Amino acid sequence: MRIVWNDTQRTHLLDVSRRGPHAQRIDPEWTQEAVNAPGAWTDAVDSSEPYKRRSTGYSPSYGDWLTVVYLDINGQLYGITAYPA
């Protein structure tokens, strides 16, 4: 799977100053590793929004597990956010 990150969401991941004092910079490429990692799991964030998904997997480049939240619209994946698992 490949997640598309628009410019706004990409900036959100990379610019920790916009996400609070304990936020960590997340490279969008690390999210690709996490969602495609062996043993990664995916579930719906909210049963009332079945197109909104959350995947958690290990990113070797990050060196730890990441949770990635995205929209699955007709098989196209659009990133919303990501954070350490």
Q: Residue 16's pLDDT is what? A: 79
Q: Residue 19's pLDDT is what? A: 74
pLDDT at 2 > cutoff 90: yes
Q: Residue 47's pLDDT is what? A: 84
Q: Residue 50's pLDDT is what? A: 86
- Cα separation of 52 and 79, whole Å? 10
Among the listed residues 5, 63, 67, the one whose alpha carbon sits nearest the alpha carbon of residue 40: 67
pLDDT digits 0-9 by tens, 65-74:
999 999 999 9
pTM beyond 0.85: the answer is yes
Q: What average pLDDT does this structure show over 32-60?
A: 94
